[in-house]
Each structure stands twice: as C-alpha cells, then as structure tokens.
Copies of this chain bind each other. A is one copy, B any other.
C-alpha cells in the first residue's frame, strides 16, 4: 500500500543523492537533466516526495527563508536508508530496466552503478531493440506493397531510429569492455564513456 512506484522514485532518489533540493527545483532537473518526465505534474511529484519521507528515505526540512521572503521552501534530503535504497534499486535492474522509459533514467545514473550492472543493462537494452528490429523487418517483408507510402515512410523512420540506437549501444558496450580489461578497480582512472555521438 506504500508502493510509491518505480521509475519516478528512482529518479528522485538519484537526484536527491547528488544534492538536497526542494520539489520545484527537482521537477526542472527531472526534465532537463534526465530527459525523462518531460512535463511531470506536481500532482505526481509532491505526493512522491511525501512518500519518501513516510518511508524514512528522506527528511523534510522547512528551510526557513534564506535571503528573500519567499514562501519557505521544503528541502528534501536523503537519509542513510534512502541512499541505501537507491543503490539497491540500481543493483536490481531486472528486465524492466530496458524499457524505453526506464532505460534513460538508469543510464543517467551509470556514474554510480557498478560495471556488471552497467553491462547487464546495456546488453539487455540492445537485445530488446534487436527483438523489435526483427519484428519490424519481419512485418515489413510480410506486408510489402500492402501499405501506403506514408505508413512505409513512418516505418522506415522508426527502423532507422532503432538501428541508430543499437549502433550507439554497441559503441558504449565496446567502451565498457575496454574499461574492464584495462581497469579493474572501480572508481579510479578515466570516467565515463567518452563522446560516442559522432558517426
């Protein structure tokens, strides 16, 4: 009954892990930093934050007016339990982690995810996309000439997008593999995947 759900909770825990924040600020970060939750409503966010407090994952401190005379912000800060829960959620990452909506959020927190989990998610995501690719190509072959040009154009664009993401994932997976060979100790050496954007 206290199951304040999956992705949003993870995303909020992740951002609060970086630094304490109030709800309004959090909402902006969710869209600008994580990309997901483009226009999350306060009707979702505030109850979620209250839920974290209820579960003892965050504290709520009415920051009493720093400077201006604004309505006093409510700053949320993760407890030790909250930080632990975040790590636990990151480590779990089952098949749900390679969904369209979830993957982006998981990926955004790769900086604090261990190498095995990173690899598992990347490979899982790629498998998911390749499966989709097979479906697209299959139905493409089956329905050839039965579709009008607009539908075909749409399917081609979709196909290209998925293929692009697979290539992107391949590059990321390569980088992870190289890192594994050259650098076994986590937390040292060069960080991140580098710029794999250009083709």
Give A residues with C-beta under 8 Å from B.
31-33, 35, 38, 104, 107-111, 132, 135, 139, 143, 147-158, 160-161, 164-165, 168, 172, 191-197
Q: Is the CB of A152 within 8 A of B192?
A: yes
Query: Known interface pairs A157-B168, A172-B153. Does A147 touch B33 (Cβ–Cβ under 8 Å)?
Result: yes
The answer on a CB contact under 8 Å between B191 and A154 is no
Cα of A108 to Cα of B154 in the assembled complex, Å = 7
- For the residues of A in contact with B, the DSSP-based class is helix
A176 to chain B, nearest CB (A): 11
Please give, as numbers and ranges, the residues of chain B lying within 8 Å of A158 by CB-CB distance: 35, 104
Given the known A-B contacts A164-B161, A168-B157, are A33 and B193 also in contact in the complex, defined by CB atoms under 8 Å? no
Number of identical protomers? 2
**What chain B residues lie within 8 Å of A38 (beta carbons)?**
132
Choose one: B33, B148, B195; the contact of A151 (CB below 8 Å): B33
Query: Contact between A35 and B154 (Cβ–Cβ < 8 Å)?
Result: yes
With A33-B147, A111-B150 known, 11 other A-B pairs at CB within 8 A are A32-B135, A33-B151, A35-B155, A38-B132, A104-B154, A104-B158, A110-B150, A111-B148, A149-B191, A153-B194, A156-B195
- List of 7 A-B pairs having minimum Cβ-Cβ separation, nearest first: A149-B192, A110-B150, A32-B139, A111-B148, A156-B197, A108-B151, A153-B193
Contacts of A150 in B (CB 8 A): 107-111, 192-193
With CB as the reference atom, state the residue of chain B lying closest to A199.
Answer: B160
